[in-house]
Structure 1
Amino acid sequence: MQKWIFFVLFILAGALGLGVLFQDISDRQEAQEAEATAGKMQQLKLVASNWQFDTPEYTIKKGEPTKVSLSLKEGVHAVEIVGLDIKLDKENPSKEITFDKPGTYEIDCVLPCGEGHAKMKSKLIVQ
């Protein structure tokens, strides 16, 4: 009788182990697919240092999924792309968005960062 109980428990444990194994493989495949999709995504990296961005203007293509990210090289900054619903800071450093409308947008530092804060601006050109 004990042999049957151990046999049933062994089979159940094996089935449970296989279920966990296949679930883990499934999760890994989903993560790899998400990374592949993100790899195809257009990147817009805004690098902020004391009272300036790394470039006076950024250019991206319209209609493509884009990951907008803020990198703080010096100081503490928060940025807003005026006219779009994009605000990035230390707590929320990135956002995924598709720019549908071509045009020129202003990028402003919206966190007072010192004496040159008023001049801390850049442009985003969506083509």
Structure 2
Amino acid sequence: MKKALMSLLSLMLLFVLAACGGNNDASSGGAVTDPAVAPEAELVISATNYEFNQQEYTLKKGVPVEIKYENKEGNHGIMIPALGVQLDRNKDSIVVTPDKTGTFDISCSIMCGTGHSQMISKLIIEE
């Protein structure tokens, strides 16, 4: 029963990732991506097995930021749906300008094992 449930959840995650992963243009989320804009800030998010290096990350609304992803241990990626961001070993950085405030989820975008569902941090975008 547990294997069937885990298989179903894995399949659902694959469908979600396939739907989200086709377009890396963050303008559909809560951010604007413009390669010509120089970042004014940098956010580095590191992942090890089943955790990110921080529980919360903070950005400022309207400030261009380069989000960099570092995979320290295991096979992981990051997904920030509110910003339209998905990064992994193949694409490890993006420059975005958050255009809305709030608290948003950062989660692992690659099924990485038994701790995958607990691999969540928060992104706080302040005024």
TM-score class, shorter-chain normalisation, is 0.5 to 0.7
What is the aligned partner in structure 2 of residue 9 from structure 1?
A: none
The yes-or-no answer on 1:46 pairing with 2:35 is no
Report % sequence identity: 40
Give 1:41 deviation, angstroms: 1.9
Note the aligned Cα RMSD (angstroms). 1.8
Alignment of 1:1-127 (within 5 A): 41-127=40-126
Runs of at least 5 residues in structure 1 that lack an aligned partner in the other structure:
1-36
SS in structure 1 of the partner of residue 43 of structure 2? strand
Runs (4+) of structure 1 moved beyond 4 Å? 37-40
Q: Which of these two proteins has the greater Rg computed from alpha carbons?
A: 1
Tell me the TM-score normalized by structure 2: 0.67
1: CA distance between counterparts of 2:101 and 2:91? 25
SS in structure 2 of the partner of residue 118 of structure 1? helix
Letter in 1 for 2:86: K
Tell me the TM-score normalized by structure 1: 0.67
How big is each residue's C-alpha offset from its partner over 1:17-61, in whole Å with a ceiling of 9 and x where there is no partner? xxxxxxxxxxxxxxxxxxxx9986211111100000001110111
1: CA distance between counterparts of 2:47 and 2:101? 24
Say if 1:40 and 1:80 are closer, same or farther in 2 by CA, change over 3 A.
closer
1: CA distance between counterparts of 2:44 and 2:65? 10
Q: Which has the higher contact order (CA 8 A, sep 6+)?
A: 2
SS in structure 1 of the partner of residue 83 of structure 2? coil
Runs of at least 5 residues in structure 2 that lack an aligned partner in the other structure:
1-35
2: CA distance between counterparts of 1:125 and 1:46? 14
